[in-house]
């Protein structure tokens, strides 16, 4: 039995048991998407306003400097909140863990029914932010950035696609699903502009190319 299949069987059985004991709460209809990013026209304008300079060093970087998956409400942290938001018919247990639902990964067009097959991607990766100016922020500001639900900075996507992206910028990586690249570039510029982060010249050129094709 494959690991993915086994996980799905496990989630299905867990959901059945919890339903029988009345422990499940069904999420309301989900928007199934992050907050809407700025338009392509606005993104082109904002891109022109970003500071352009060579990417900084990763020296001193640690994910621990960006405390993430903060508590949002009750037992629900940022990760579970995004899973609920980005999924359809998401069912959570008493600890807010998603035990069933359906998720469409915009990056690659895959659909998943087990939350364990998903990662929550920081659109602008934490290490990328560090090299673009976040190294000078307070830990509190970095925590706000890492848990930003207001801007299109967090999205549930296929785990191995997110891992392939790693901390790369748009000059080095774009979603394999080409239909989503315009949206991704708008999201990227929206986040960098909102947080006052810089871009390097190759990154800016790649973003311009994508946005000009929107």
* Tens digit of each residue's pLDDT (9 = 90 or more) over 176-190: 999 999 999 999 999
Sign of CA dihedral 199, 203, 205, 211: negative
> How far is it, in rounded angstroms, from Cα 211 to Cα 184?
10
> How far is it, in rounded angstroms, from Cα 213 to Cα 148?
28
Q: Which domain holds residue 44?
A: 3-212
Nearest one of 193, 177, 181 to 38, comparing CA atoms: 193
Tell me how many degrees the CA angle 109-195-210 measures, rounded to the nearest 5: 40
Tell me how many degrees the CA angle 146-148-150 measures, rounded to the nearest 5: 170
Q: What percent of the chain is modeled with pLDDT above 70? A: 86
Sign of CA dihedral 126, 129, 131, 133: negative
* Tens digit of each residue's pLDDT (9 = 90 or more) over 14-47: 333 333 333 333 333 434 789 999 999 999 999 9
The total of other beta-carbon atoms located within 10 Å of residue 102's CB is: 14
Phi, psi (degrees; rounded to nearest 5) at 139 = -60, -35
Q: What percent of the chain is modeled with pLDDT above 90? A: 85
Q: How many domains does the chain have?
A: 1
| Confidence check: pLDDT of 13 > 60 | no
Task: Dig out the tokens for 177 from the structure.
Answer: 């699903």
In this prediction, residue 33 carries a pLDDT of 86
Element (H, E) at 20: helix 3-20
Q: How many residues does the chain have?
A: 214
- Is 37 within 8 Å of 187 (Cβ atoms)? yes
Phi, psi (degrees; rounded to nearest 5) at 87 = -100, 175
What pTM did the predictor assign? Answer: 0.85
> How far is it, in rounded angstroms, from Cα 202 to Cα 169?
9
């Amino acid at each position: 039995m494959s690991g993915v299949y086994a996980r799905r069987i496990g989630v299905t059985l867990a959901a059945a048991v919890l339903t029988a004991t009345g422990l499940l709460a069904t999420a309301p209809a989900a928007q199934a998407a992050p907050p809407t990013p700025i338009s392509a026209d606005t993104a082109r304008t904002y891109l022109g306003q970003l500071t352009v300079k060579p990417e900084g060093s990763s020296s001193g970087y640690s994910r621990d400097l960006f405390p993430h998956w903060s508590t949002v409400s009750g037992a629900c942290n940022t990760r579970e909140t995004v899973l609920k938001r980005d999924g359809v018919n998401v069912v959570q247990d008493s600890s807010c863990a998603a035990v069933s639902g359906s998720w469409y990964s915009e990056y690659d067009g895959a659909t998943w029914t087990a939350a364990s097959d998903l990662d929550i991607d920081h659109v602008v990766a934490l290490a990328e932010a560090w090299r673009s100016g976040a190294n000078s922020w307070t830990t509190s500001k970095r925590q706000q950035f890492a848990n930003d639900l207001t801007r299109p900075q967090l999205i549930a996507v296929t785990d191995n696609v997110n891992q392939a992206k790693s901390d790369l910028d748009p000059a080095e990586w774009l979603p394999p699903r080409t239909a989503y690249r315009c949206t991704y570039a708008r999201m990227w510029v929206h986040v960098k502009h909102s947080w006052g982060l810089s871009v390097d010249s190759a990154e800016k050129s790649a973003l311009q190319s994508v946005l000009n094709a929107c």
